[in-house]
């Protein structure tokens, strides 16, 4: 196991997580820490339980056993009021963006502001305007409906909504899936810039090796129903596990490493 | 705590220790309450700041020329710079047009939509008939497994609710008839009322309305969701005709099931009426049936049965047509589903009126 770069108290602390659906066991005694200010990439085979892990952490999924602490407080669907209060401190970008299709982009971003805070309409409009600009969306996108946007713009709009309340922690589920390489690279750069400006901690599920090399500080590998290993990509690539070797040492992994190396 | 210190020169403004989104409303109020003119914002006491706090600082610097900020920490400097860069004009709403023009446009759109949807609907009916004919003569034939599945969902699964409804309607009709006819000592004619009204009109019409509510909505929602998921496009690329695969079985199923459901509904309405007559008018079941056979002509039954397949076809066509019209988002599915139910019920009633006139005109009464 690689040493975590910081010894600060973890933002997310998962201990002994068990998730079982009928006879199928997705997680069995999974432990994971996410430290403040880092971008943690989570990788694993399709169906290994990456999304289930994320859903468990954000309280959408009741684990069979185990504890999950975020910002030092326990998250559990059993205490909806506390989880709701806690959820204002994190933002989530779902795989398809999950924008409300009946609202414009601006209205989508305003939803959390309207629901949780008592801000003047003028200030809310200004917040939306600068958030949209910060996320690199063109000004005319604000009045459009999600169906009128391209895939990349929809992801950016989803991220704008996730960041509406200025969260400290950001969950991203395959943010670059379905984007063209240029759009994906721009999105990676955006995530990194936002992390640096807004001092975010990022939990990032991805299959995109370029994303892993470009922006992740640490990578956690889910396999065999638990976290098999965590560490930097270089540390992971040294491990003898065949799946990890194939993942980072396969043709795509090597190509991504070559691209990342000169940078 | 925040406060305004009025010394010589520009006003000094000291916000609280937390300059974040949760304090933003308060901070904005305090800034608005500060005397006009340049401000000096002292951030040296600020422990946490986020983009919203930074935005308010930036906005003050922008809107009050001559203002300055002091005591910026590293975080605050970075965030203020970031929001200043993102301060670009941004139209949040589509440009609004005058009310009279908007209303006029709405009316125009509605008229246009009514005309085009009439045309499209007729075209859809034609397409379906052609697809049905083509399927019937093709090697593969009509998709009977699909038809049978739809028969189950639209027919068998509806038996409970349709039966209960008809039974209760039978009771209501008989009870109302009995009360009124009793005044003339003609309570025996309750049987005529129940028998003729249910077999000729009510049994079929109410069944059609119930099926329109259950199945037209289901068809529109199913096909609409498939359309959004691009399943319809996927079918086309695989060489499948969505009309043949989705629409034809549904239309056939309702054409087959509606007469059967209507007959079943009429029977239960008669049972309801018969039970009420027995309890309320002391007409024993045997006499009720005897009298029913005397007063209800076979033509009533045939008229009801003749109408039912047409009702079924209209309901299925409207439901599937509206499903195919879904575009874009989840809201559209909802709107089209509503339209499917409203239109199919409306068309069933129009068709029923048409049949009433038609059968009278040809002397089939």
Q: Is A94 helix (H, G, I), strand (E, B) or coil?
A: coil
Q: How many residues does chain A have?
A: 263
List average pLDDT for each run of 10 residues in chain A, which is 263 residues long: 58 88 85 89 85 86 85 77 81 85 87 84 88 85 86 87 88 85 84 84 88 87 86 83 81 75 57
The answer to whether the Cβ–Cβ distance between A123 and B75 falls below 8 Å is no
pLDDT of amino acid B1? 44
Interface probe for B, chosen from A126, A167, A192, A199 (most Cβ of B below 10 Å), is: A126
pLDDT of B293 > 70? The answer is yes
Domain contains B97: no
CA pair distance B194, B278, nearest whole angstrom: 13
B69 and B163 in a single domain? The answer is: no
The domain spans of chain A are: 99-158
* Mean predicted lDDT score pLDDT of chain B: 89
The answer to whether the Cβ–Cβ distance between B86 and A130 falls below 8 Å is yes
Interface probe for A, chosen from B18, B21, B49, B97 (most Cβ of A below 10 Å), is: B21
pLDDT of amino acid A116? 81
Which pLDDT band, with edges at 50, 70 and 90, does B17 fall under?
Answer: confident
B138 and B25 in a single domain? The answer is: no
Distances (CA, A) of B195 to A14, B144, B210, B321: 71, 35, 20, 36
Structural contact between residues B91 and A139, judged by C-beta atoms closer than 8 angstroms: yes
pLDDT of amino acid A4? 46
Contacts of A157 in chain B (CB under 8 A): none
Instruction: Answer with the one of B28, B63, B85 that is the final residue of a domain.
Output: B85
Structural contact between residues B166 and B265, judged by C-beta atoms closer than 8 angstroms: yes
pLDDT of B353 > 80? The answer is yes
Per-residue pLDDT tens for B97-123? 788 998 999 999 999 988 998 999 999
B11 and B149 in a single domain? The answer is: no
Contacts of B21 in chain A (CB under 8 A): 117, 165-166
pLDDT of B33 > 80? The answer is yes
B33 and B168 in a single domain? The answer is: no
CB burial of residue B286 (10 Å; 0-12, 13-18, 19+)? exposed
- Which of B60, B329, B122, A153 has its CA nearest to residue B69? B60
Q: Smallest CA–CA separation between A189 and chain B, in Å? A: 15
| Number of domains, chain B | 2
pLDDT of amino acid A263? 47
Domain contains B117: no
B70 and B184 in a single domain? The answer is: no
pLDDT of amino acid B208? 96
Interface probe for A, chosen from B18, B25, B32, B52 (most Cβ of A below 10 Å), is: B52
pLDDT of B16 > 90? The answer is no
pLDDT of amino acid B8? 55
Q: Is A143 helix (H, G, I), strand (E, B) or coil?
A: coil
Domain contains B109: no
Q: Smallest CA–CA separation between A114 and chain B, in Å? A: 12
Domain contains B107: no
The answer to whether the Cβ–Cβ distance between B92 and A102 falls below 8 Å is no
The answer to whether the Cβ–Cβ distance between A102 and B93 falls below 8 Å is no
Q: Smallest CA–CA separation between B23 and chain A, in Å? A: 9
Contacts of B76 in chain A (CB under 8 A): none
**Residues whose CB falls within 8 Å of the CB of residue B34, separated by 6 or more in sequence, listed in order:** B4, B11, B13
Structural contact between residues B134 and B244, judged by C-beta atoms closer than 8 angstroms: yes
DSSP B236-278: HHTT--HIIIIIHHHHHHHHHHHHHHHHHHHHHHHHHHHHHHH
Instruction: Answer with the one of B55, B85, B115 that is the final residue of a domain.
Output: B85
pLDDT of amino acid B146? 92
B228 and B318 in a single domain? The answer is: yes
The answer to whether the Cβ–Cβ distance between B28 and A119 falls below 8 Å is yes
Q: What's the rounded mean pLDDT across residues B30-36?
A: 83
Would you state the torsion angle of the CA atoms of residues A234, A239, A240, A242, taken in this order, to the nearest 10 degrees? Answer: -70
By DSSP bridging, strand B11-14 and strand B3-5 are antiparallel
Question: What CATH number is attached to the domain comprising B27?
Answer: 3.30.750.24
pLDDT of B7 > 70? The answer is no
B78 and B130 in a single domain? The answer is: no
The beta strand positions in chain B, using DSSP E, are 3-5, 11-14, 18-19, 39-42, 48-49, 68-70
Q: Smallest CA–CA separation between A221 and chain B, in Å? A: 32
Instruction: Answer with the one of B85, B108, B135 that is the final residue of a domain.
Output: B85
Which pLDDT band, with edges at 50, 70 and 90, does B3 fall under?
Answer: low
Identify the domain containing residue B78 by its residue range: 3-85
Per-residue pLDDT tens for B297-338? 998 999 999 999 999 999 999 999 999 999 877 788 999 999
pLDDT of amino acid B259? 95
Q: Smallest CA–CA separation between B102 and chain A, in Å? A: 18
In sign, the C-alpha dihedral spanning B182, B187, B190, B193 is negative
pLDDT of B2 > 70? The answer is no
The answer to whether the Cβ–Cβ distance between A131 and B91 falls below 8 Å is no
B50 and B136 in a single domain? The answer is: no
pLDDT of B235 > 70? The answer is yes
Which pLDDT band, with edges at 50, 70 and 90, does B9 fall under?
Answer: low
């Amino acid at each position: 196991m690689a040493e975590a770069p910081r010894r600060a108290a973890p933002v997310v602390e998962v201990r002994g997580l068990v998730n079982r659906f009928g006879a199928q066991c997705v997680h069995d005694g999974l432990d994971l820490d996410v430290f403040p200010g880092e971008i943690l990439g989570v990788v694993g085979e399709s169906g290994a339980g990456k999304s289930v892990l994320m859903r468990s952490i954000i309280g959408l999924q009741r684990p069979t056993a185990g504890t999950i602490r975020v910002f030092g407080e326990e998250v559990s669907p059993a205490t909806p009021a506390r989880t709701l209060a806690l959820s204002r401190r994190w933002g989530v970008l779902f795989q398809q963006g999950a924008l409300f299709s009946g609202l414009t982009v601006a209205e989508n971003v305003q939803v959390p502001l309207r629901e949780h805070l008592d801000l003047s309409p003028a200030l809310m409009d200004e917040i939306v305007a600068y958030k949209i600009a910060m996320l690199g969306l063109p000004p005319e996108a604000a009045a459009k409906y999600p169906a009128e946007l391209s895939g990349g713009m929809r992801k950016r709009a989803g991220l704008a909504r996730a960041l509406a309340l200025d969260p400290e922690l950001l969950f991203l589920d395959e943010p670059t899936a379905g984007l063209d390489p240029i759009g994906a690279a721009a999105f990676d750069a955006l995530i990194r810039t936002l992390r640096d400006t807004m001092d975010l901690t990022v939990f990032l599920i991805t299959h995109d090796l370029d994303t892993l090399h470009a922006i992740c500080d640490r990578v956690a590998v889910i396999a065999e129903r638990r976290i098999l290993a965590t560490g930097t990509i270089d540390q992971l690539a040294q491990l003898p596990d065949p799946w990890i070797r194939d993942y980072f040492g396969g043709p795509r992994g090597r190509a991504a490493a070559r691209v990342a190396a000169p940078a | 705590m925040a406060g305004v210190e009025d010394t010589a020169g520009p006003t000094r403004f000291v916000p609280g220790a937390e300059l974040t989104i949760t304090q933003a409303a308060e901070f904005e109020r305090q800034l608005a309450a500060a005397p006009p003119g340049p401000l000096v914002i002292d951030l040296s006491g600020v422990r946490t700041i986020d983009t919203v706090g930074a935005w308010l600082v930036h906005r003050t610097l922008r809107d009050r020329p001559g203002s300055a900020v002091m005591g910026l920490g590293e975080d605050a400097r970075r965030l203020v710079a970031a929001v200043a860069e993102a301060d670009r004009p941004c139209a949040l709403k589509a440009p609004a047009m005058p009310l009279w023009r908007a209303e006029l446009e709405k009316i125009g759109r509605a008229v246009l939509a009514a005309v085009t949807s009439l045309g499209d609907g007729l075209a859809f009916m034609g397409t379906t008939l052609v697809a049905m004919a083509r399927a019937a003569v093709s090697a593969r034939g009509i998709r009977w497994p699909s038809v049978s599945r739809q028969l189950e969902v639209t027919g068998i699964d509806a038996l409970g609710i349709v039966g209960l409804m008809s039974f209760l309607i039978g009771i209501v009709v008989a009870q109302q008839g009995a009360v009124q006819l009793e005044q003339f000592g003609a309570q025996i004619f309750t049987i005529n009322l129940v028998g003729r009204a249910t077999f000729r009109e009510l049994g079929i019409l109410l069944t059609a309305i119930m099926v329109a509510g259950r199945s037209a909505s289901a068809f529109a929602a199913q096909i609409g969701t498939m359309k959004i998921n691009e399943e319809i496009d996927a079918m086309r690329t695989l060489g499948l005709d969505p009309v043949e695969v989705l629409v034809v079985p549904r239309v056939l199923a309702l054409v087959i099931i509606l007469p059967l459901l209507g007959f079943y509904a009429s029977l239960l309405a008669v049972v309801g009426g018969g039970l009420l007559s027995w309890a309320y008018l002391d007409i024993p079941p045997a006499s009720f049936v005897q009298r029913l056979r005397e007063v209800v002509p076979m033509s009533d039954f045939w008229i009801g049965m003749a109408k039912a397949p047409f009702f079924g076809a209209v309901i299925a066509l409207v439901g599937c047509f509206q499903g195919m019209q879904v575009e874009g988002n989840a809201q559209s599915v909802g709107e089209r589903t509503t339209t499917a139910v409203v239109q199919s019920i409306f068309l069933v009633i129009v068709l029923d009126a048409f049949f009433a006139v038609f059968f009278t005109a040809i002397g089939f009464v």
